[in-house]
Amino acid sequence: MSRPVVAVVGRPNVGKSTLFNRLVGQRVAIVEDTPGITRDRLYHKVEWQGQEFTVIDTGGIILNETDPLAIQVRTQAEIAMEEADIILFVVDAESGMTSTDLDIAEVLRASTQPVMLVVNKADNPRLLLDATEFYSLGLGDIHTVSAIHGAGVADLLDQVVAHFPADFDFVEDNEDAIRLAIIGRPNVGKSSLLNSILGEERVIVSPIPGTTRDTIDTTFQWNDQELVLLDTAGIRRSGKIQGTVEYYMVLRAQTALERSNVGVLVIDASTGVLDGDKRVAGMAQEAGRACIVVVNKWDLVDPGVIYKPGVQRRPDKAKIEKFTEAFRKDCPFLEYAPLVFVSAKERFGVRHAIETAIEAAHNHAHRIPTGELNRLMREATERRPLMEHGRQFKIYYATMPRVKPPTVLLFCNDADLMHFSYKRYLENQLRLVYPLQGTPIRIQARKAENKDKEKE
């Protein structure tokens, strides 16, 4: 990691996510009075007293639980503890010490990392007094806080920063990093894709729809390019989930798109394009981000692609063309998005997906020189003039005021003359000449006020 790491751990429902949100200064983790809301490791940067560090929120630990999902949650917390330079063990002053607290403390006493015992929900003098019972856990001093009200959190942060080594090798974030938001409806294999890219069990993979609930940032190096993967919760119809945990899952996914350069839309090859896929695709388009479409589980459609360990043949071209045609018909607004056919489970096509996403990010930032842009627009209007109600649409000047996405501003005689089909025509002319695959293009028309009034 490029900065010190602090892991927040503890049994379910002691307020770990509330404390996490208080530490980072914003509502990043989902908080509800329901055990098990946080499942994966959730990372965020914090700055205190000029020192930056990374804090990790984890799911509630139940050591003796045999449920497979609970075991994965515990594994994720254990990985976070191994990554951490300091562990914040959170307990609950209201409910008092439990057998689970005792079990976790026994594990933490054997840890080589410093452990700070945080007694949360110490909201009044009585609870502050009751908090002293946690000294018996044998983890040293207690740090009483009320995460929901913020009491004691500043003092806790002072102590956290004091634990950091003075010679910690700190590296600034790379502003050139490309951020990829992995989006899609539930259970299409988004987390499996992320794990396949990283080659490790970075996030929980489960056949239960909705397992991933928060947006998770993971930084890694791909050749000479730094990438940040944002794994997001499965997106469902928002009208049906208002006020629920899933409502916040959708908000997290939308926020991830806003923070990303590229939306990696994952769809399930075995089910084809469903209404949920179209809705998610629409979100990527509206966000103005570059986009690629990862058709996952292709091994279920074309099982011959992987027929022997370590050996593969080319996918069935006819099946790919058929699927591509169906997708283009169902999602014509994403015609610019390339399709990549993969099997996250078999790690087939994953490298091509990442390289395609990187190319889309570069195209998303592509700027066309003003002289070339004006020449191309002039030639396009000469080849296909636009006439409406006896008036000809004229472009006097074209410029590109911004990129991400590439945005073209046309100064013309009458902006109302340029309808959607002609805008599409101009966009296609740009795509024929410039490397713009994977990125939307915004074309806006504005009346040139300084031009003399056109003679009738």
Q: State yes or no: pLDDT of 332 exceeds 80.
A: yes
Helices (H), 42-90: 68-83
Q: Do residues 224 and 274 make contact, with C-beta atoms less than 8 angstroms apart?
A: no
Q: Do residues 231 and 220 make contact, with C-beta atoms less than 8 angstroms apart?
A: no
| DSSP code, position 320 | H
Closest of 411, 383, 412, 402 to residue 442, by C-alpha: 402
- pLDDT of amino acid 213: 47
Q: What is the CA radius of gyration of the chain?
A: 26
Burial code of 323-337, b = ≥16 C-beta within 10 A, e = fewer? beeebeeebeebebb
Report the C-alpha gap between 408 and 24 in whole angstroms: 38
Report the C-alpha gap between 305 and 352 in whole angstroms: 15
User: Considering the entire predicted model, what is its pTM?
Assistant: 0.62
Region 287-296: mean pLDDT is 93
Q: State yes or no: pLDDT of 245 exceeds 50.
A: no
Q: Do residues 436 and 403 make contact, with C-beta atoms less than 8 angstroms apart?
A: no
E strands along 109-261, which residues?
115-120, 142-144, 178-183, 216-222, 225-231
Helices (H), 260-348: 275-287, 298-301, 317-330
Q: H-helix or E-strand containing 89?
A: strand 86-92
Q: At what angle do helices 420-433 and 370-383 cross, to 10 degrees?
A: 120
Closest of 222, 218, 219, 186 to residue 205, by C-alpha: 186
The more confident residue out of 304 and 227 is 227
Q: Do residues 439 and 290 make contact, with C-beta atoms less than 8 angstroms apart?
A: yes
Give the tens place of pLDDT for each residue, 64-101. Answer: 666 665 666 566 666 667 778 889 999 999 989 998 88
The more confident residue out of 379 and 62 is 379
- Confidence band (pLDDT; 50, 70, 90) for 371? very high
Report the C-alpha gap between 327 and 200 in whole angstroms: 31
Q: Which two tokens stand for residue 20?
A: 């996490």
Q: Which residue has the tokens 């740090």?
A: 143
Q: Please, what is the average pLDDT of the chain?
A: 81
- pLDDT of amino acid 189: 87
- pLDDT of amino acid 73: 57
E strands along 313-370, which residues?
339-341
Edge-to-edge strand list for the sheet holding 395-402: 395-402, 407-412, 442-447
Instruction: Tell me the HSE value of 359 on the side-chain side, using a 13 A CA sphere.
Output: 16
Q: State yes or no: pLDDT of 118 exceeds 70.
A: yes
Q: Which residue has the tokens 């914090």?
A: 46
- Confidence band (pLDDT; 50, 70, 90) for 334? very high
- Confidence band (pLDDT; 50, 70, 90) for 265? very high
